[in-house]
A = this chain, B = another copy of it.
Amino acid sequence: MMNFLAINILNSGVQLSMVCAAIGLAFAFFLIAAVTRAPSGNERMREISAAVQEGARAYLNRQVKTISVIAVVIFILLFVFKDHPTAIGFVIGAFCSLAAGFIGMRVAVLANVRTAQAASVARLNALRVAFNGGSVTGLLVVGLALLSVSIFYTIAANLIGSDAAIRSLVGLALGGSLISVFARLGGGIYTKAADVGADLVGKIEKGLEEDDPRNPAVIADNVGDNVGDCAGMAADVFETYAVSLVGAILAGLLTIGGNPATIVYPFLLGGISVVGAILGILFVNVARGKPTAVLMGAVMTNALVSAILFWPATRNLFPGGVSIDGVLRSPAELYFASLVGLIMTPVIVALTNYYTSSHFRPVQKIAHASETGHATNIIAGLAAGEHATALPVLFIGAAILITFHFAGLYGIAIAVMSMLSMAGVIISLDSFGPITDNAGGVAVMANLPKEVRVVTDELDAVGNTMKAVTKGYAIASAGLAALVLFGSYVEELRGHITSRGEVFSFQFSLSDPKVIIGLFIGGLLPFVFTAFSMDAVGKAAGAVVREVRRQLQVKPGILTGQERPEYGTCVDIVTKAALREMIVPALLPLVAVIVVASIPSLGAVVLGGLLVGTIVTGLFIAIAMTSGGAAWDNAKKFIEEGNLGGKGSFAHAAAVTGDTVGDPYKDTAGPAINPMIKVVNILAILIIPIFF
């Protein structure tokens, strides 16, 4: 039971985070105004942008319809077998995740044409327009996540009490995650099928440049950037943020009990970092220098502001410390846990940068391997991806050990929330890539002078590394968040009384073969999940290749510029393929959890193993795929910069093959693991009272 003072702390703390979220949203609208004010280029540019936007909107609408059917089914199941607040939470989470996707797409289309225009003035202008566009997405998505969770919690706590409200937040997290799996997969299959298909015939067979309007798949490729890299990523971030927040609140409830300060704390960390993100964004708008340095400055600004402000917040919230699992933890210990999260962000960013930037050995090794052919390029890239798992995983392990030492499971949860609190500025970096990529597309298709393309190409290369490092950040935080959820699963089971009146008392010991089998089944999920995703891209890309070849054969005038390609058929092929192929892998984790949970008398133990197994192999595969893919991409760019023979050389052809293989690795299969491992863990928590 909470006393009056406790409720007061709770309300005022949550309200403060709402205020911060509102400030973030206000600043996002200010940025929208600023971006919109930027000149949007000539008629032809706006026309191309509109065509791409139309394709993207059409696809997202169809994706919403497909996903809605599944969401409605799950809503009904939750409404009947679980409880009404959870079901309502699910709908809110699902809706916000979809909304985040639309926001990401809208903003990207707004920003790309203006970045192309700004690139014709100066590099710095283009950098700022693209970054500000990305920042709009970042702030809107983070604000949306913070507001939806805090408002839902506040209302639900008033109606059904704080504990029940927290448990129904798990429904909101599931809604966000599940939609995000679909959005990541659908968008990822779309963008990479179009990209691979366009490249295989256009670049490799016909020697066309990227974004050449004679390539019949070029519009599909540009639509793909918007629905995959922008919309898919935004949905993913909403999910990651919301789940980390809910996970931290849940860990607070389960390991500490009714102490309202532990519930407020994650909200506060999120709110404070919105202020840090705004200052980071302002930094980019005043700083000058190399693009990478300027962008990294934003991250450091945010980290610094948060590190400073987290301390008074922690001290005021826990003046006498807090008792966790019977041990009194000082405010300093909690603060240190949050600091680990802040430090992890630049650490993971720096490590991923090492593995994926063309300035370092791993990427250069792939480039050199290209000199001896396609196969040695692929072998080197696969090895590079595997190598790239080593340091991040060791640091994640260290973070777990340290934060657990400070404050148990709640300490890990706080570190994750603290890490995720920087999502606003991280997303600004992440969106930067697709926006400049699209700007380049607009520039080529609108026949802008070559200097413009040079600027957008340079920024695109920076954006590539940013995309890679933010993916490292996303998967590291996802792994940690999923572990917090697993911890919550164990805690929730500990006191649970089964329908037969027994009290669960599990150890999830590795010497229990049921746990080992769970680890095997869970470990299998990321393998099969990514296998399906890769298959989907390969299949859809193959269809695009055949269509492009067909068009070029039927209308030979396309290549000479005398005939216009039919862009629509490629868009149509990819749309259908993406919607069809996303279903099986997206449902796979749901089905696996339900099937395992239904094994009589073994379910709960095997499921525990499954959750951890999915996290372990998922973490490795996701890092190997995203880093490996980015390394292939940058090895190709390294050669295109004139090294090892440059464009058109034997090495370049091999590097293009590597880049193409890396496409589904880094933009479809790899990042989709991120929400997948969380769906599995959230669902497990939700179904405890239904199955056990």
User: Which A residues fall within an 8 A CB radius of B?
Assistant: 196, 200, 204, 365, 368-369, 371-376, 378-380, 382-387, 389-390, 393-394, 396-397, 400-401, 404, 412, 483, 486-487, 490, 507-511, 513-517, 519-521, 523-524, 527-528, 530-532, 534-535, 537-538, 541-542, 545-546, 608-609, 612-613, 616-617, 619-620, 624, 657, 660-661, 664
Contacts and interface: CB of A to CB of B under 8 A. Distances in A.
Contacts of A511: 487, 490, 508
Q: In the assembly, how many copies of this chain are there? A: 2
Contact of A534 (B379, B412, B517, B542): B379
B661 A401 contact: no
Nearest to A605: B510
Contact of A661 (B196, B375, B389, B509): B375
Contacts of A519: 612, 616
A511 B613 CA distance: 13
B527 A620 contact: yes
Contacts of A534: 379-380, 382-383, 386
Contacts of A545: 372-373, 376
B531 A196 contact: no
Contact of A386 (B368, B390, B486, B528): B528
A513 B404 contact: yes
A380 B527 contact: no
A200 B389 contact: no
Contacts of A546: 372
Nearest to A519: B616
B379 A516 contact: no
B378 A378 contact: yes
Contacts of A527: 386-387, 389-390, 620, 624
A194 B290 CA distance: 45
Given A196-B379, A523-B616, 14 more contacts: A374-B374, A376-B545, A378-B661, A383-B531, A383-B535, A387-B535, A397-B517, A400-B516, A400-B517, A508-B510, A510-B510, A519-B612, A520-B616, A520-B619
A533 to B, nearest CB: 8
10 contacts: A200-B375, A369-B538, A372-B545, A373-B657, A374-B657, A378-B657, A380-B535, A382-B661, A386-B528, A387-B527
